[in-house]
Structure 1
């Protein structure tokens, strides 16, 4: 079982067709992607009891995301206004003050020791916004020390919300040391480290103890720095883009699902990841890129199911 921790919010998607309220939030989108790829997944989230919170719970349950560890919170549900431009690319405005996602307390977190969890994934605003971010960071530190599962982080920075670049640099520097797998976008790194080359940042993370670093580059594909120091590159899958909502989250879900299929998640995580061959890393990247592309070809965060991905990967081989 893969455990995903973090926000589940409502995206108010605004386009030329009007606006619609759809379930979203980066960690929640990753969880749905994993479930659709037939990976057992449990979401550690704080879900409001308002109408939006009920909509989120229904959506997640309908997609076979396990909510046994979800907290039913008194605070309202967070809302992200996603405005689509003519090309389908989304820009975001967030309504987060006093909402449920960021109010974690240590007592609300489960004990992962002895559970069936093979990986813990989190990131995005959940690791950036107080007071809950520190609670989740403490959980990551605990699990990294225990060495009983793979710890994964997707930076997914939001400079429109957390504007302190120096503060974010310090946070990321601290948190990546707790992860075996770190994923970011080239846009994340361009804002976080202006003027720095992407491979140099990835190498720095490896020196800090990250086993595998992945950077997505939109239409330019993705880079992966493997545990042995080798760099792997995967081109983007050509697709007619409807919109980019949830594409990065779909990539992350596809990546984690591919690693799970290779038995590369679990205890002794560094050893498991180091055991993968170059061909296996290429296959992992290929699946992640395909899952992201198929999501871009659809409206909203609507990742594909396992059979669809398997059919296309089989046709390409």
Structure 2
């Protein structure tokens, strides 16, 4: 089994909470791509995180956490900036994130910073999330995409608060089309799909991503499961298991982590049914993540997933 490279952001989440009747913020290591990297490692895959990390105590905690869970840092660079913060409040079904830090510590990776051999040697390359809104990192992601010799997976992980008007949304839509054209797998959430392609049914969005060039497209639907569009088959809905959800943070990232981990083990499925089975497993991973608080810290092992959903 080879290794995956996950290119994207690592930051610190401040999660709105309450203690002794007073509002407080609970600190958690986060960033969608970081969650994916941790999820892959917890599921038994070898993974390297590629991105820019700050030069402060919080960045030290991120490095220590990643090292502790087995995520490699050979492609991570340290930049002279405080660690970016994402303040999350919970009012609707999806957390509302506001981002702090200028320039953002995660947005300073350049194309020249890339370890070309590390990227080219990966069996799976993940790119995506909010780093794509940073010109320097977008250039690095494009270079990584062109260097990749293995499977390429993509997740835009859209954060509306970071989009400054219709022009920014249109620009992101173009970036999604660009990366989807060369992707073996694209994953969107329902919220991503609604923002990028308003008014389109999720099956239509999944089919459109395949028309753009993606070999397989998955749109996650929260508690309703996911839509899978694979070559040679119409989009299919895969149900999610019933769980006792307490915190959905990182659930979508865990779906991608599970899919990447299985790509490392067995490559791409030959038949659409193989994708349906893998997505069903990924949804069980996400269900287990939802049953405990936290994003990266909630990522389970394969044994924990099997234990929870068998018997």
TM-score normalised per structure 2:
0.90
Q: Matches of residues 83-122 of structure 1 in structure 2 within 5 Å?
A: 83-85=89-91, 89-112=94-117, 116-122=121-127
What residue number does 1:130 align with?
135
SS in 2 for 1:289: helix
Is contact 2:5-2:119 (8 Å) kept? no
CA deviation digits over 1:204-236, x for unaligned, max 9?
221222101000011111011112234332112
Structure 1 residue 114, shift from structure 2 partner: 8.8
Give the direction of change, closer, same or farther, for the CA distance of 1:260–1:293 in structure 2 (3 Å limit): same
SS in 2 for 1:160: helix
- For residue 77 of structure 1, the aligned residue among 80, 83, 98 is 83
**2:57 pairs with 1:51:** yes
SS in 2 for 1:184: strand
What residue number does 2:17 align with?
15
CA deviation digits over 1:256-291, x for unaligned, max 9?
112323x21xxxxxxxx3x52344222201111011
- For residue 70 of structure 2, the aligned residue among 61, 64, 74 is 64
SS in 2 for 1:210: coil
What residue number does 2:301 align with?
305
Structure 1 residue 139, shift from structure 2 partner: 2.1
CA deviation digits over 1:28-80, x for unaligned, max 9?
00000000001001111211120110010011111100111111222221110
Distance in 1, Cα, partners of 2:119 & 2:40: 22
What residue number does 2:43 align with?
37
**2:242 pairs with 1:238:** yes
Structure 1 residue 115, shift from structure 2 partner: 5.7
Distance in 1, Cα, partners of 2:119 & 2:250: 32
Structure 1 residue 89, shift from structure 2 partner: 4.6
- For residue 25 of structure 1, the aligned residue among 26, 31, 45 is 31
Distance in 1, Cα, partners of 2:94 & 2:276: 27
Structure 1 residue 178, shift from structure 2 partner: 2.6
SS in 2 for 1:233: strand
Give the direction of change, closer, same or farther, for the CA distance of 1:113–1:174 in structure 2 (3 Å limit): same
Distance in 1, Cα, partners of 2:174 & 2:89: 30
Moved more, 233-242 or 291-300: 233-242
CA deviation digits over 1:98-118, x for unaligned, max 9?
122111222210114796410
TM-score normalised per structure 1:
0.89
Distance in 2, Cα, partners of 1:114 & 1:286: 29
Return structure 1 stretches of 4+ with deviation > 6 angstroms.
none
What residue number does 1:155 align with?
156
**2:230 pairs with 1:226:** yes
Is contact 1:258-1:287 (8 Å) kept? no
Unaligned runs of 5+ in 1: 265-272
